[in-house]
Structure 1
Amino acid sequence: MATPIYPWREGNTFELMMDGDRFFPRMLQAMAQAVCSIDIELYLVESGNSTQKVMDILLQAVARGVRVRCRFDSLGSRELQESDRQRLLQGGVDLRFYNPLNLLGGRSNLHRDHRKLVIVDGGVVFIGGAGFTDAFCIPGTEGRCLWHEQMLEVQGPVVADWVAIFERQWQVTERRGGRQPARLRRVRLPPHPSGSDGLARVSLTDGRTHRELVQALLANIARAKRQVWLATPYFAPTWRIRRALARAARRGVDVRLLLCGEVTDHPPVRYAGQRYYRRLLAAGVRIFEYQPRFLHLKTVLVDDWVSLGSSNFDHWTLHWNLEANQNIVDSRLTLVVEQSFTADFAESREWTLNDWLALPWTHRMKIRLWGTINRIAILWLDIRS
């Protein structure tokens, strides 16, 4: 059964929290105050100080009668120790793992649940790109978390849609088929809302029937009049997204990309993505590489439209993963997101076309090598752009 296309909901409130020193304590507080239910769907979960804090609160919640359900991706949670898994199970947490790895599973192992949701009492949801790891949640010696990330706290009618999404995913079988459908269908998107505050809708890729999340991105870039600012840690976009960005820049829209610099967990992905810089820069796209830390943000700002959540907007994410973003039209949040981008641009290196042309041959060889490997992987895995 196809995943539904969710409509715009009015009357929602939002709070954007940058970095784990802000969002992690708030999430812990919300879970500690739960009276009915805590539902968690995450990709990255590792044993450590942050996960121990979460586990303590979850077990305390179960002890006072709260229903606690956790669904972790089996690959992303491979560093969650068996002792921690058993502690959760023995404490009464309903724990499930998405698509357990199988040596004979072939391409079915590539299907991953990349969504990040924490829902408390069916009334508040936290959405973003973080997991339960110390790199996200625990500040280091300099007082900043190693990974630059954000979570959005949402309250209002749209939370019911997030509850429905979690319930739907909770009930599906644990293993997925290894072959994608021959053709994913295009869907009819809800029209852009006329209001300016409190509007939100859930945007998804379900991996089998549609990638509505991508359609929404392309539709909004096409209607952009002032700005298109996009932050992503892994810049390996489809050709449709690259074309949309270039076209927007050519018609005078302020198009900026906020990407990882040398501090990254996957250097080959950075080199592979840099092969796109020359044409984008020539089209007028401005490219910024964040310098201080590993940038893990997944945010898009297009005029009055904001989308943030789990999606990296790359080939791999959009083909294999379950993803979920919150799309928003809200004047206050738009301003907060714009200020966040501006602060990050100030800590970034901006590339120019001359910078790209002046790259040393060693750097060019890395771009060529990893770009070639990326293209081969796309062809071999039959990832349609």
Structure 2
Amino acid sequence: MIDFLKDNIWVFVIVLNYILVISAVTTILFKNINPTKTLSYIMVLVVFPYLGLIVYYFFGQEYRKNKIFNRKNVLNKNVVQKLDREYKLSKSQLHKLDEFLDTKMKLVKLMNNNKNTPVTLKNELQIIKNGKEKFKLLFEDLKQAKHHIHLEYYILKDDHIGTKLIDILCEKASEGIKVRLTFDDVGSKISWKTKRRLKDNGVEFYAFMPVLFPNFTGKMNYRNHRKIAIIDGEIGYVGGINIADAYVNYKDDTTYWRDTHLRIVGEALKPLQVHFLMTWDFVSNSSCDISVELFPNSDVQTTKAVQIAASGPDTDWANIMEAMFVAINTAENYVYVTTPYFIPNDEIVTALQVAAKSGIDVRLLIPKESDSWIAKYATNSYLERLLEAEVRVYRYTKGFIHAKTMVVDDLFSTIGTSNLDYRSFNINFEINALIYNKETSVELKDLFLDDILNSEELSLESWQKRSKYCKLKESYSRLWSPLL
């Protein structure tokens, strides 16, 4: 019997593989997902023994339906439920918004129908260009904290700028301020010495979904891509800038990093706080103590409507992608998009094409050089279709543009963590501020127009002349877009 097994070991291995494949294929068929996606996974499972099963395990499962974590511990709290009732707009408030936003009211209604995305009206907003300005403002706000500091970041490094932040956190925690910090275990690099220092000074911190070997996992996990800072429930930050020296442009001989962030004071801090607390409840693995002190009343009188939209495997819908889709489809004059990674789904590509062919001024700004060659070529594979539809495409040449923004018709804009790519739409945990305000939208538009002065515009004729080898690299890279 043992000899028979030895002689036929590979037969048993292959048979076991296809028993598992049949089970996986049956599961995929019952999900009734996109036919192209279904066939792609079936092909990978059948053609690549075991490797196909690994790919399906990491990327084929629908985590939005099989929730990664339970939000009820936070959402069922009386304090949070009261906030939800508090920010339901009256008919008169909706009417005033409707008069200003016109077709953009579809966005407000869409987000209102998604949980935990109330419209807040009284806010002060400050657009921040690049890391140096962000850290100056953030550090000043952190030093003034009186009650609590909440930080949630994809990348936190204990390099020069990271150590400055950690110094402030340790100092505030030693003063008795409640400091809570969570960072993504794959994106961040913090030494054990730094972690010990944080703990010794009373900073509470947790890694998001820890992995054994973060340097080798790459992006083959569902990661927390959010960048959130909240001080005393009164001041908040959200946008593209992580905590690392690369974002600060310290040295002239390093790649210039162009990024955009947002500082918020006002009512929008309350839903932002709720999203932080849901993450904290998950990473700390304990029932979170939610008090009214975390949600102080705001005395801001400036009217700037903001919705905080979160998206990821923890949400019922792809909220941010849906908001961008509706914003593009309701555009009447222009759509200006900045993203470092453009690997979109068919819905976004079609929306951009249709808008451009309808006479809308549609412009896309991406980096000329990326921090990932495979992401660069995957992005390039989409450009010809856009250029054919008369979308104007610019590639940033001054350095690497990492900003994630969209502005539409001087009425709507968004700043946040979400790229226009597969990972942000389907895999990562993301968060964006959706802004309904002319002043802020015009300011963001001016930033976009300033950035394209440091960019090259592509023409369809010249783009079509790129080599067949280049096109082959693009097609190959595009195949791996779900993994980027």
Please report the TM-score for the alignment, with normalisation by the length of structure 1: 0.87
Match of 1:201 in 2: 307
Instruction: Quote the offset at 1:32 in angstroms.
Output: 0.9
- Report the Cα offset of residue 174 of structure 1: 6.7
AA partner of residue 293 (structure 1): G
| 2:451 equivalent in structure 1 | 344
Distance 1:353-1:323 versus aligned 2 partners, 3 A rule: same
CA RMSD of aligned residues (A): 2.4
Say which SS state the counterpart of residue 308 (structure 1) adopts: strand
Pairing 1:66–2:177 present: yes
1:149: which partner in 2? 259
The C-alpha deviation readout for 1:32-51, integer Å capped at 9, x for no partner, is 11111110000011121001
2:238–2:261: 8 Å Cα contact kept in structure 1? yes
Q: What is the CA distance between 1:165 and its match in structure 2? A: 1.0
Q: Matches of 1:101 and 1:33 in 2, distance apart?
A: 35
Q: Tell which deviates more after alignment, 209-218 or 231-240.
A: 209-218
Question: 2:377–2:477: 8 Å Cα contact kept in structure 1?
Answer: yes
C-alpha separation between the residues in 2 aligned to 1:234 and 1:205? 17
> Counting helix residues as a fraction of each chain, which structure ranks higher?
2
Conservation of the 8 A alpha-carbon contact between 2:396 and 2:455 = yes
Measure, in 2, the Cα distance between the counterparts of 1:306 and 1:125: 18
Counterpart selection for 2:203 from 69, 86, 93: 93
Contact residue 222 and residue 244 of structure 1 kept, 8 A: yes
Q: Distance between the aligned counterparts of 2:441 and 2:388, measured in 1?
A: 28
Q: Which amino acid aligns with 1:85?
A: K
- Structure with larger RCO (C-alpha < 8 A, sep 6+): 1
Task: Encode CA deviations 1:167-201: one digit per residue, 9 max, x unaligned.
Answer: 111102579xxxxxxxxxxxxxxxxxxxx951101
Distance 2:328 2:395 in 1: 21
Give secondary structure in 2 for the equivalent of 1:131: coil
CA apart distance, 1:363: 2.5
2:402 is aligned to 296
Amino acid at match of 1:31: L
Secondary structure at the residue paired with 1:110?
Answer: coil
Q: Alpha-carbon deviation of 1:225?
A: 0.2
Residues 408 and 441 of structure 2 are in contact (CA less than 8 Å); yes or no, is this contact kept in structure 1? no
Residue 259 of structure 2 aligns with an amino acid whose one-letter code is: E
Kindly report which structure 2 residues correspond to 1:317-356, keeping only aligned pairs within 5 A, or say none: 317-356=424-463
1:252-281 CA-to-partner distances (Å, cap 9, x unmatched) read 11100010112x211211111111111110
Kindly indicate whether the alpha-carbon contact (under 8 Å) linking 1:271 and 1:366 is maintained by their aligned counterparts in 2. Answer: yes
1:277 corresponds in structure 2 to: 383
- 1:109 is displaced (CA, Å) by 5.6
Aligned to 2:358: 251
User: Which residue of 122, 130, 149 maps to 1:19?
Assistant: 130
Consecutive unaligned residues of structure 2, counting only runs of 5 or more, are 1-69, 76-114, 286-301
Tell me if 1:115 matches 2:222.
no
Change (3 A) 1:237 1:108: closer
User: Is the Cα–Cα contact under 8 Å of residues 102 and 109 in structure 1 kept in the other structure?
Assistant: no
Distance, in Å, in 1 between the alignment partners of 2:326 and 2:468 is 38
Which of residues 79, 83, 95 is equivalent to 2:193? Answer: 83
Post-superposition Cα deviations, 1:48-106, rounded to whole Å, max 9, x if no partner, equal 100110011111111211110001011111x2222111111111100011111147xx9
User: Number of matched residues?
Assistant: 354
Query: Is it true that 1:286 corresponds to 2:385 in the alignment?
Result: no
Moved more, 90-99 or 106-115: 106-115
1:25 shift after superposition: 0.7
Aligned-partner Cα distance in 1 for 2:479–2:130: 34
1:382 alignment counterpart: none
Residue identity opposite 1:359 in structure 2: R
Task: Assess if the C-alpha contact under 8 Å between 1:71 and 1:95 holds in 2.
Answer: yes
One-letter identity of the residue aligned with 1:32: K
Q: Partner residue of 2:329? A: 222
The match for 2:282 is 172
SS in 1 for 2:236: strand
Tell me which structure has the larger Cα radius of gyration.
2
How far apart, CA to CA, are the structure 2 residues paired with 1:240 and 1:277? 15
Aligned to 2:272: 162
Q: Once the two structures are superposed, what CA deviation does each residue of 1:219-254 show, in whole Å capped at 9, x if it has no partner?
A: 111110011111110110111000100011011111
Tell me, yes or no, if the aligned pair for 2:338 and 2:366 is still in contact at 8 Å.
yes
Q: Verify the 8 A CA contact 1:98 1:174 in the aligned structure 2.
A: no
The 1:282–1:165 alpha-carbon spacing in structure 2 relative to 1, beyond 3 Å, is same
CA distance in 2, matches of 1:57, 1:46: 15
Moved more, 251-260 or 131-140: 131-140
CA distance in 2, matches of 1:54, 1:245: 40
- Indicate conservation of the 8 Å contact 2:123/2:305, yes or no: yes
Query: Following the alignment from structure 2 to structure 1, what is the Cα–Cα distance between the partners of residues 219 and 467?
Result: 40
Query: Contact (CA 8 Å) 1:139, 1:146: kept in 2 or not?
Result: no
TM-score (norm 2): 0.69
* 1:246–1:285 CA contact under 8 A, matched in 2: yes
Separation in structure 1 between the aligned mates of residue 155 and residue 461 of structure 2, nearest angstrom: 38
Matches of 1:107 and 1:117, distance apart in 2: 22
The counterpart of 2:320, out of the listed 199, 213, 218, is 213
